[in-house]
Structure 1
Amino acid sequence: MKNVHSIDPAVTKMLEIARKQGMETAWDRYLAQKPQCGFGELGICCRNCNMGPCRIDPFGEGPQKGVCGATADTIVARNLLRMIAAGASAHSDHGRDVVETLRGVGTGEAKDYTIKDEKKLMTLCKEFNITTEDKSIHEIAQELGEAALEEFGTQKGYIQTIERVPLQRKEIWKNLGIIPRGIDREIVESLHRTHMGVDHDPASLILHGLRCSLSDGWGGSMLATEFSDVLFGTPRPIRGQCNLGVIREDAVNIVVHGHEPVLSEMLVEAVQDPELEALAKKNGASGINLVGMCCTGNEILMRHGIPSAGNFLHQELAVMTGAIEAMVVDVQCIMPSLAQLASCYHTKFISTSPKAKFPGALHIQFEEHHALDVAREIVRQAIENYPHRNKSRVFIPKETAEYVGGFSVEAILEALGGTWTPLIEAIKSKKIRGIAALVGCNNPKVTHDYNHVNMTKALIAQDVLVVETGCAAIASAKAGLLLPETAQLAGSGLASVCRTLGIPPVLHMGSCVDISRILVMAAAIAKELGVDIADLPIAGAAPEWMSEKAVSIGAYVVASGIFTVLGTVPPVLGSKTVTEILTQKAKYLVGGYFAVEPDPFKAAELIINHIDEKRAALGI
Structure 2
Amino acid sequence: MRAARREFYESVSVDPTVAGLLEKAERDGVETAWHRYLAQQPQCGFGLLGVCCRNCNMGPCRIDPFGYGPQRGVCGATADTIVARNLMRMLAAGAAAHSDHARDIVEVFKGIPEGWAKDYQIRDEEKLRGIARALGIEVEGRDALEIAREVAEVLEWEFGKPGEEPLRLVEAYAPKKRREVWRRVGIMPRAIDREITEIMHRTHMGVDADPLSLIAQGLRCALADGWSGSMMATLLSDVLFGTPRPLRATANLGVIREDAVNILVHGHNPVLSVKIAEAAEDPELSKMARDLGAEGGINVVGMCCTGNEILMRMGIPVAGNMLQQELAIATGALEAVVVDYQCIMPAIVDVASCYHTKVITTEPKAHIPGAIHVEFDKARAMETAREIVRIAVENFKNRNPERVMIPEEKCELVAGFSVEAILEALGGTLDPLADALKSGKIKGIVGIVGCVNPKVRHDHGHVTLTRELIKRDILIVGTGCWAIAMGKHGLLLPEAAEMAGPGLREVCEALGIPPALHMGSCVDCSRMLIALGALADHLGVDIPDLPAAGSAPEWMSEKAVSIGSYFVASGLLVHLGTVPPVLGSKKVVEILTERAEGLVGGRFFVEPDPVKAARVIADHIAEKRRALGWPE
TM-score range, shorter chain: over 0.9
- Find the aligned partners of 1:21 and 1:255 in 2 and give their Cα distance: 21
How do residues 61-100 of structure 1 correspond to structure 2 at under 5 angstroms?
61-100=68-107
1:23 aligns with 2:25: no
**Aligned equivalent of 1:158:** 166
1:169 aligns with 2:174: no
Q: CA deviation at 1:579?
A: 0.3
- Find the aligned partners of 1:270 and 1:459 in 2 and give their Cα distance: 41
Counterpart of 1:435 in 2: which secondary structure? strand
- Find the aligned partners of 1:394 and 1:173 in 2 and give their Cα distance: 55
Contact 1:125/1:131, CA 8 A, preserved across alignment: yes
- Find the aligned partners of 2:65 and 2:253 in 1 and give their Cα distance: 44
- Find the aligned partners of 2:377 and 2:599 in 1 and give their Cα distance: 44
- Find the aligned partners of 2:146 and 2:31 in 1 and give their Cα distance: 52
**Aligned equivalent of 2:397:** 387
**Aligned equivalent of 2:584:** 574
Counterpart of 1:81 in 2: which secondary structure? helix
Q: State which of 428, 433, 452 in structure 1 corresponds to 2:462.
A: 452
Contact 2:331/2:406, CA 8 A, preserved across alignment: yes
1:565 aligns with 2:541: no
Q: State which of 421, 436, 439 in structure 2 corresponds to 1:426.
A: 436
Partner letter of residue 137 of structure 2? I
1:255 aligns with 2:264: yes
Q: CA deviation at 1:142?
A: 2.0
- Find the aligned partners of 1:589 and 1:135 in 2 and give their Cα distance: 43
1:486 aligns with 2:496: yes
Q: CA deviation at 1:12?
A: 1.2
Q: CA deviation at 1:81?
A: 0.7
Summarize deviations over 1:364-414 as a string: whole Å, max 9, x none: 001211111110000000000000000100000000001000000000000
Counterpart of 1:309 in 2: which secondary structure? strand
- Find the aligned partners of 2:346 and 2:93 in 1 and give their Cα distance: 18
Summarize deviations over 1:80-132 as a string: whole Å, max 9, x none: 11000000000000011101110001111110000110001011111222223
Q: CA deviation at 1:139?
A: 2.4
- Find the aligned partners of 1:49 and 1:585 in 2 and give their Cα distance: 30
**Aligned equivalent of 2:285:** 276
Partner letter of residue 162 of structure 1? V
- Find the aligned partners of 1:367 and 1:619 in 2 and give their Cα distance: 56
Gaps of 5+ in 1: none
- Find the aligned partners of 1:381 and 1:462 in 2 and give their Cα distance: 50
- Find the aligned partners of 2:98 and 2:76 in 1 and give their Cα distance: 34
Q: CA deviation at 1:170?
A: 1.1
Gaps of 5+ in 2: none
Q: State which of 114, 133, 137 in structure 1 corresponds to 2:121.
A: 114
Count of paired positions? 620
Q: CA deviation at 1:584?
A: 0.7
Partner letter of residue 212 of structure 2? A
Counterpart of 2:520 in 1: which secondary structure? coil
- Find the aligned partners of 1:338 and 1:104 in 2 and give their Cα distance: 33
1:237 aligns with 2:246: yes
Q: Percent identity?
A: 64
1:294 aligns with 2:304: yes
**Aligned equivalent of 1:182:** 191
Q: CA deviation at 1:13?
A: 1.1
Contact 2:478/2:518, CA 8 A, preserved across alignment: yes
Partner letter of residue 119 of structure 1? E
- Find the aligned partners of 2:523 and 2:240 in 1 and give their Cα distance: 16
Q: State which of 305, 315, 323 in structure 1 corresponds to 2:333.
A: 323
**Over 4 Å off, 4+ runs:** none
Q: CA deviation at 1:133?
A: 4.2
Contact 2:28/2:354, CA 8 A, preserved across alignment: no
Partner letter of residue 21 of structure 2? M
Q: CA deviation at 1:138?
A: 2.1
**Aligned equivalent of 2:235:** 226
1:614 aligns with 2:624: yes
- Find the aligned partners of 2:60 and 2:124 in 1 and give their Cα distance: 51
Partner letter of residue 58 of structure 2? M
How do residues 456-467 of structure 1 correspond to structure 2 at under 5 angstroms?
456-467=466-477
Summarize deviations over 1:155-176 as a string: whole Å, max 9, x none: 3611112122222211111111
- Find the aligned partners of 1:268 and 1:118 in 2 and give their Cα distance: 23
- Find the aligned partners of 1:368 and 1:360 in 2 and give their Cα distance: 24
Contact 1:326/1:382, CA 8 A, preserved across alignment: yes
- Find the aligned partners of 1:554 and 1:128 in 2 and give their Cα distance: 26
Contact 1:438/1:542, CA 8 A, preserved across alignment: yes
Q: State which of 45, 51, 64 in structure 1 corresponds to 2:52.
A: 45
Counterpart of 2:456 in 1: which secondary structure? coil
- Find the aligned partners of 1:290 and 1:142 in 2 and give their Cα distance: 33
Summarize deviations over 1:301-348 as a string: whole Å, max 9, x none: 000110000000010000000000000000000000011111111000
- Find the aligned partners of 1:540 and 1:334 in 2 and give their Cα distance: 25
Name the stretch that deviates more: 515-524 or 275-284. Answer: 275-284
Q: State which of 508, 520, 525 in structure 2 corresponds to 1:515.
A: 525
Contact 1:103/1:143, CA 8 A, preserved across alignment: no
**Aligned equivalent of 1:139:** 146
Counterpart of 1:9 in 2: which secondary structure? coil
Counterpart of 2:17 in 1: which secondary structure? helix
- Find the aligned partners of 1:108 and 1:589 in 2 and give their Cα distance: 47
Q: State which of 355, 360, 370 in structure 2 corresponds to 1:345.
A: 355
- Find the aligned partners of 1:445 and 1:4 in 2 and give their Cα distance: 12
- Find the aligned partners of 1:397 and 1:8 in 2 and give their Cα distance: 11
Contact 1:107/1:139, CA 8 A, preserved across alignment: no
Q: State which of 480, 483, 494 in structure 2 corresponds to 1:473.
A: 483
Contact 1:224/1:513, CA 8 A, preserved across alignment: yes
Q: CA deviation at 1:134?
A: 4.5
Q: CA deviation at 1:19?
A: 1.8
Partner letter of residue 537 of structure 2? K
**TM-score normalised by length of structure 1:** 0.99
Name the stretch that deviates more: 388-397 or 272-281. Answer: 272-281
- Find the aligned partners of 2:491 and 2:140 in 1 and give their Cα distance: 46
- Find the aligned partners of 1:508 and 1:6 in 2 and give their Cα distance: 21
Q: CA deviation at 1:135?
A: 3.6
1:524 aligns with 2:534: yes
- Find the aligned partners of 1:427 and 1:184 in 2 and give their Cα distance: 39
**Aligned equivalent of 1:500:** 510
**Aligned equivalent of 1:367:** 377
Partner letter of residue 489 of structure 2? A
- Find the aligned partners of 2:321 and 2:286 in 1 and give their Cα distance: 27
Summarize deviations over 1:134-161 as a string: whole Å, max 9, x none: 5432222222112111111123611112
**Aligned equivalent of 2:388:** 378
- Find the aligned partners of 1:41 and 1:139 in 2 and give their Cα distance: 52
Backbone CA RMSD of aligned residues: 0.8
